[in-house]
Amino acid sequence: MRTVGVAVLSHTVPAPRTRGDVRLNYLRIADLVVGMAHGEPGLDLIVFPEYGTHGFRTAPEAGPLVEPGEDVAIFARACRTAGVWGVFSTSGGCCRPEPGHAVVLIDDRGEVVARHRRGPGGRGGDPPDVVDGPGGLRTGLSISRDDPLAGPRCRYNGAELLVRYQAEPGLPAAAQVRAARAAAWLGTCYVVAPNAAGRSGPHRWSGHSTIVGFDGATLAACGDEEHEFSYAELSVDALRRARAGRRRPGPTPVPARAC
């Protein structure tokens, strides 16, 4: 039976003040990728929460601290070294000039195979796309907070694994988990719902990053502690059997005969 090992983290939201702070966080994330790959031999994909790379969005006081692409280069090298796929937030936060939300999917060779970006308030950005992901699972990235239709579009495009970003500071964990379970059941797909944990300035994130099965059941979930992770193995064959069963038409009803 083919399986895909997936880990999701409830990472902290950094509050970098200098270029060195930002780059140090890049290296910490890269070390987590390599360390978790060694600690979980079946790991194929690791998913980090939004805002875990550059912090929460605030207006930079002295211009951007880093240039676009520095983060992706370090994360790509880590994925290549560890032989795993990764989903990373590249949202600007307080470090970069662009105000929108963005995530990338990097494969185990260090290649960026998918990007998804949303402008503030859902204006502009990229249409949801679906690509061949780890273990052959058709994988889509969705920032559902800015575009409520992003997740459904991914599912309609055949996503078997949906990485669904939704969380904002103060969003109740139960609301995020319910939304992820509903998306999984409606699309007959696996859903990974990452969320940060802990405080950053006046803001608080609720954690509870979750991996949901294609039947809407929770397979693994973090609590509300910082630096937690959860791991689950996703069966490719079971998913595709369930999808084939849902698509199969039922028996044609026989009209009743008049007596």
What are the residues whose beta carbons fall under 8 Å from the beta carbon of 63, sequence distance 6 or more?
Answer: 97
Tell me, rounded to whole angstroms, the distance of Cα 126 from its chain centroid. 16
Rounded CA-CA distance 26/16 in Å is 11
* 3-state SS, residue 191: strand
The pLDDT assigned to 149 comes to: 66
**Sequence ranges of the domains in the chain:** 3-247
Contact 254, 38 (CB under 8 A): no
For residue 39, name the pLDDT band (cuts at 50, 70, 90).
Answer: very high
Q: Which of 3, 48, 1, 67 is nearest to 232 (CA)?
A: 3
Rounded CA-CA distance 94/87 in Å is 20
CATH superfamily of this structure's domain 3-247: Carbon-nitrogen hydrolase (3.60.110.10)
- pLDDT tens-digit series, residues 230-251: 999 999 999 999 999 876 554 4
CA dihedral defined by 220, 102, 155, 213, rounded to 10 degrees?
0
- pLDDT tens-digit series, residues 174-209: 888 998 999 899 899 999 999 988 877 777 878 899
Rounded CA-CA distance 242/92 in Å is 39
- pLDDT tens-digit series, residues 91-137: 766 555 555 678 899 999 999 999 888 765 555 456 668 999 999 99
Confidence check: pLDDT of 256 > 50: no
What are the residues whose beta carbons fall under 8 Å from the beta carbon of 76, sequence distance 6 or more?
Answer: 106, 110, 111, 112
The pLDDT assigned to 197 comes to: 86
- pLDDT tens-digit series, residues 144-180: 765 666 667 776 678 999 999 876 777 888 888 998 9
